[in-house]
Amino acid sequence: MRRLAIAIALGSTLYCIPQAFAGKIDNVKQAVKEKCNKAIPIEILRDSVVRAYDCQPEQEVTIASCKIKCLKGGSGNVVGQ
């Protein structure tokens, strides 16, 4: 019985992970498509998503030889600013 509970908990956790990352993949694909009318090669897709979101807002990022704006949202509420 305990194994079944663990399997259900693990399965539900793993089910949610790809869906959260999928939205970011679509956002990066769309940004490159709109800016340069290109498709991102599957080999660099994961690294492209990391680069597109691991940057300063309004900074330009090069993905598949296409420059797009950083897709990371604003800095949010920061104490002292």
Query: What confidence category does residue 81 fall into, taking pLDDT thresholds of 50, 70 and 90?
Result: very low
pLDDT in the model for residue 58 = 85
Domain count, the chain: 1
69 part of a folded domain:
yes
Digit-coded pLDDT (tens) for 33-57: 999 999 999 899 889 999 999 999 8
Range of the domain at 62: 25-73
Q: Which amino acid is at 13?
A: T
Higher pLDDT, 17 or 5: 5
The Cβ-side half-sphere exposure at 2, using a 13 Å CA radius, reads: 0
| Percent over 70 (pLDDT), the chain | 72
Q: Determine the pLDDT at residue 77.
A: 46
Which residues, other chains included, contact 31 with Cβ-Cβ below 8 Å and sequence gap of 6+? Answer: 52, 68, 69, 71
Tell whether 67 is covered by a domain: yes
Instruction: Answer whether residue 79 is part of any domain.
Output: no
pTM, whole model, 2 decimals? Answer: 0.63
